[in-house]
Chain A
Amino acid sequence: DAGITQSPRYKITETGRQVTLMCHQTWSHSYMFWYRQDLGHGLRLIYYSAAADITDKGEVPDGYVVSRSKTENFPLTLESATRSQTSVYFCASSDAGGVSTDTQYFGPGTRLTVL
């Protein structure tokens, strides 16, 4: 049982380039989430999805785009990367109950560096 996986694990890109971070879960969980983790800020929610084709903004959505055509996949795209988007990105999923009420299961993270 693979659980929740993220790819790539490490990525270096340049300012202005488009970058897509992938997230895949094998549990058929309804909810999926994208967070960024920055020193001193903990984790901040970027976007979440309650089901396929249903997405909504979190606390820090600017500069990011998401889609969810299949339940198991939730890619995060930085359309034009900026240095301020250098961070560790975590994908998570939960079975039900919403963003704020249910246990979330986290992937291993993607460390993104924007030069």
Chain B
Amino acid sequence: NAGVTQTPKFRVLKTGQSMTLLCAQDMNHEYMYWYRQDPGMGLRLIHYSVGEGTTAKGEVPDGYNVSRLKKQNFLLGLESAAPSQTSVYFCASSYDWRYGETQYFGPGTRLLVL
């Protein structure tokens, strides 16, 4: 049982390049989330999903897109990377937040946009 995994762990992009971050969970969780963490700050929600085939915007969605084609995977895409997107990205999942299930976090992806 690997829990929540993220790929890649670290990436350097040039401004304007695109990339996709992959989050995978093997706990059969319904809910999945993408957060970003900037230095000295707490996490901010980018997008989330309440089930396979669903996505919704969080607090800071601009510049990102997401897809949840399979229940176990949640993809975060950057179409045209900007230096302001330099951050650490965390994925999380939970079984059903309505019943107080806690969120389990992946190890994070460190992204540097030059």
Do A and B assemble together?
A: no
Interface residues of chain B, those whose CB is within 8 Å of chain A, are none
Interface residues of chain A, those whose CB is within 8 Å of chain B, are none
